[in-house]
Amino acid sequence: MNISTLFVKQKNTLDFERLAMATVTPKLYILQYDYVDNVLEKRAPYREAHLAVFGKQVQSGNVILGGAIDHPPTGAIMIFRNLTPDDIEQVVQQDPYVANGIVTKYTIKPYIAVAGDPLLKDDLVKI
């Protein structure tokens, strides 16, 4: 059964129970950063090196999408593929924004994507 069928059958709780209980292996992870106040000024000395760290991940095919949240930025989100949470943690530790206090908090969470552009079909979880 696909996800669209589950959403169409909203009155059938069995379908939602099946979705909730499905054991899936995440194919993607979200890295979320929270930034210090006045990040635009404070990040300037580290921006080029920060972009280089994530540029390598983009070139390797490990980052699908990434960028700032809000305007002015209050944080950032990166969507990773092909890496484990431990691998992503290693990337985070290389980031000058983390080393220099621009990032005040970060989380790495599984992202169970079930719908998206056909170009991302290999990254979507089939439920």
Task: Residue 103: give its domain's CATH number.
Answer: 3.30.70.1060
Cβ distance 4 to 125 under 8 Å? no
Per-residue pLDDT of the chain (127 residues; tens, 9 = 90+): 444 444 444 445 555 555 555 577 889 999 999 999 999 999 999 999 999 999 999 999 999 999 999 999 999 999 999 999 999 999 999 999 999 999 999 999 999 998 989 988 888 888 7
58/62 Cα distance (integer angstroms): 6
Q: How many domains does the chain have?
A: 1
User: Quick check: is 1 in a domain?
Assistant: no
Sign of the CA dihedral 110, 114, 117, 121?
positive
Enumerate residues 6+ apart whose C-beta is below 8 A from 6.
15, 16, 18, 19, 127
User: Quick check: is 13 in a domain?
Assistant: no
User: Quick check: is 8 in a domain?
Assistant: no
Residue range(s) defining the domain that contains residue 49? 24-123
User: Quick check: is 115 in a domain?
Assistant: yes
User: Quick check: is 7 in a domain?
Assistant: no
User: Quick check: is 110 in a domain?
Assistant: yes
In 3-state terms, what secondary structure has residue 54? helix
